[in-house]
């Protein structure tokens, strides 16, 4: 990597920081409980809009993993998400009615909150429909993982997005508040993924899964990226560049081994495809606030809205993290 390239990366990082500073003026603190954050706490950052129905399970899932504090940006919800979150004792909440798209899909807001409150902490950035799974997550709290990463001098931990979907029509079983979404969306694609290396930023770029085959059957290269690096030992100079797909400095993107071995990694179970998805798709098509003018929702409405089913005979039913490990979707690395 030449000096010129390094210097360019430096400026990109500076640009992202400047952007996040500029965008933070659109954030209005609703409840600020950040004084409760203790050194060494693991923090969760999220941005959401109208996700009230998912929040009870989401918060409890991460509380059980050992998340100590939630820092959440509410992008103008109208379904009561804001009030619900404001009542939670371990949540700090910001509100904004600014454009999600112009905050680069929330990245700018969270970059700022992370620099402000996450410095020196392990920070997990997930959406309300993403459930983080890591090796031994059923027996060891997230603190065990971060302590181990600290001991191994590792600063970032990758977790691929795994799209989960139900068998049958997406809207066949209604999701109830507080329910584990994986009870409904319990199927996934075990092996139709494409992977390549992004030479510029050093991260891997993964595509595929049900969205590639059902929404983009004729143009799989347009399918959304599935590689994510949600768990990072945050330093105030860090910046997410594109969603949680990649970061700067580039060293944080090297969550994989190139010498033949396996590094440890996890999975984000993506419980997006519930009955709520179909109505969300219509709404988001109107708002056009998502990536590439909500291309994904458009592709959905064009391709499968008539018979909204993602299940196929090669689908695999989810059991636990060990199953994902055996399938090679994640790895224990040398954590035993």
Partner 1 sequence: MTVGIIMLVHTALSRAEQVARHWSAAGCPLVIHADVSVPAKSFKAFQTALSDLPDIRFSKRHRCEWGTWGLVAASQAAAQTMLEDFPLVRHVYLASGSCLPLRPVQELIDYLADRPQTDFIESATTADVPWTIGGLDSERFTLRFPFSWRKNRYLFDKYVAIQRGLGMKRRIPGGIVPHMGSQWWCLTRQTLSAILDDPERPVYDRYFSKVWIPDESYFQTLARQYSRQIESRSLTLSKFDYQGKPHIFYDDHLQLLRRSDCFVARKIWPQANRLYDAFLTDAAHAMKRTEPNPSKIDRIFSKAVERRTRGRPGLYMQSRFPAETRENGLTSAQYSVFHGFSALLKISSHGWHGPPVRVSMATFLHPNGPSFPKVRP
SS3 80: coil
* Residue whose token pair is 């109830």: 176
Rounded to whole angstroms, the Cα distance separating 236 from 85 reads 26
Q: Which is nearer to partner 1, 218 or 258 (CB)?
A: 258
User: What does the alpha-carbon distance between residue 108 and residue 240 come to, in Å, rounded to a whole number?
Assistant: 8
Shorter beta-carbon distance to partner 1: residue 159 or 281? 159
Cβ-contact 207, 226 below 8 angstroms: yes
Min dist CB 285 to partner 1, Å, is 31
Using CA atoms, how far residue 73 sits from 24, 105, 113, 240, in Å, is 11, 12, 9, 16
Number of residues that bind partner 1 (CB under 8 A): 38
Nearest CB to partner 1, comparing residues 31 and 154 = 154
Cβ nearer to partner 1, comparing 251 with 261: 261
Site string for partner 1, 104-143 (x = CB under 8 A): --------------------------------x--xxx-x
**Interface with partner 1 includes 35 (CB under 8 A)?**
no
Q: Which residues pair with 158 in a beta bridge?
A: none
Q: Would you say how long the chain is, in residues? A: 336
Residues 58/44, Cβ–Cβ less than 8 Å:
no
Q: How far is the CB of 121 from partner 1 (least distance, A)?
A: 17
- Tokens (6 digits) for 76: 């103008």
Question: In whole angstroms, how close is the CB of 219 to partner 1 at the nearest point?
Answer: 18
**Is the omega angle on the peptide bond into residue 249 within 30 degrees of 0, that is, cis?**
yes
The residue from 146, 227, 244, 276 that contacts partner 1 (CB under 8 A) is: 227
Sheet holding 42-48, edge to edge: 28-31, 91-96, 69-75, 42-48, 122-125, 231-233, 156-157
Q: 260-289: which residues touch partner 1 (CB under 8 A)? A: 260-265
329 binds partner 1 (CB under 8 A): yes
* Contact (Cβ atoms closer than 8 angstroms) between residue 135 and residue 158: no
* Segment (H or E) for 232: strand 231-233
171 binds partner 1, rule: CB under 8 A: no
| Minimum gap (Å) between residue 322 Cβ and partner 1 | 12
Shortest distance, CB of residue 105 to partner 1, whole angstroms?
Answer: 21
In the complex with partner 1, which residue's Cβ is closer, 37 or 194? 194
Beta-carbon count within 10 A of 234 CB: 22
295 binds partner 1 (CB under 8 A): no
Q: Pick one of 255, 297, 301, 308: the residue that binds partner 1 (CB under 8 A).
A: 255
Q: Minimum distance between the CB of residue 255 and partner 1, rounded to whole angstroms?
A: 6
Terminal-to-terminal C-alpha distance of the chain: 35
Out of 35, 78, 89, 258, the residue judged to bind partner 1 by CB under 8 A: 258
316 touches partner 1 (CB under 8 A): no
Binder among 204, 225, 271, 274 for partner 1 (CB under 8 A) = 204
The count of C-alpha atoms lying within 13 angstroms of the C-alpha of 292, restricted to the half-sphere facing its C-beta, is 10
Please give the Cα distance from 107 to 23 (Å, whole number).
10
In eight-state DSSP terms, residue 171 is T
Least CB distance from residue 45 to partner 1, whole Å? 21
The nearest distance, CB 48 to partner 1, in angstroms, is 25
Q: Does 335 bind partner 1 (CB under 8 A)?
A: yes
Residue 333 in contact with partner 1, rule: CB under 8 A? yes
Quote the least distance from Cβ 132 to partner 1, whole Å.
14
Phi, psi of 118 (to 5 degrees): -100, -10
Applying CB under 8 A, the residues found at the interface with partner 1 are: 136, 139-141, 143-144, 147-148, 151-152, 158-160, 195, 197, 204, 206, 227, 255-265, 328-336
């Amino acid at each position: 990597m030449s000096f010129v390239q390094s210097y360019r990366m430096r400026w990109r990082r500076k640009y992202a920081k400047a952007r996040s500073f500029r965008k933070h003026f659109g954030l209005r603190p609703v409840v600020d409980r950040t004084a409760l954050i203790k050194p060494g706490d693991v923090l969760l950052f999220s941005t959401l809009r109208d996700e009230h129905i998912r929040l009870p399970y989401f918060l409890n899932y991460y509380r059980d993993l050992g998340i100590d504090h939630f820092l959440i940006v509410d992008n103008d919800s109208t379904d009561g998400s804001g009030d619900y979150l404001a009542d939670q004792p371990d949540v700090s909440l910001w509100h904004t009615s600014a454009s999600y798209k112009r905050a680069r899909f929330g990245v700018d807001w969270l970059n700022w909150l992370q620099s402000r409150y996450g410095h020196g902490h392990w920070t997990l950035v997930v959406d309300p429909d993403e459930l983080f799974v890591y090796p031994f997550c059923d027996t060891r709290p997230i603190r065990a993982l971060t302590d181990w990463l600290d001991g191994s001098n590792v600063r970032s931990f990758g977790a691929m997005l795994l799209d989960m979907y139900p068998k049958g029509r997406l809207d066949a079983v209604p999701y109830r508040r507080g329910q584990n979404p994986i009870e409904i969306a319990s199927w996934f694609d075990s092996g139709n993924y494409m992977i390549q290396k992004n030479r510029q930023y050093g991260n891997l770029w993964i595509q595929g899964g049900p969205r590639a085959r059902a929404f983009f059957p004729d143009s799989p290269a347009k399918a959304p990226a599935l590689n994510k690096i949600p768990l990072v030992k945050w330093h105030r100079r860090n910046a997410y560049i594109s969603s949680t797909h990649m970061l700067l400095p580039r060293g944080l993107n090297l969550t994989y081994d190139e010498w033949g071995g396996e590094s440890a990694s996890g999975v984000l179970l993506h419980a997006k495809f519930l009955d709520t998805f179909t109505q969300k798709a219509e709404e988001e098509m109107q708002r056009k606030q998502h990536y590439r003018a909500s291309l994904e929702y458009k592709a959905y409405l064009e391709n499968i809205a008539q018979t909204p089913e993602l299940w196929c005979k090669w689908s695999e039913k989810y059991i636990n993290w060990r199953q994902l490990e055996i399938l090679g979707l994640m790895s224990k690395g040398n954590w035993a």
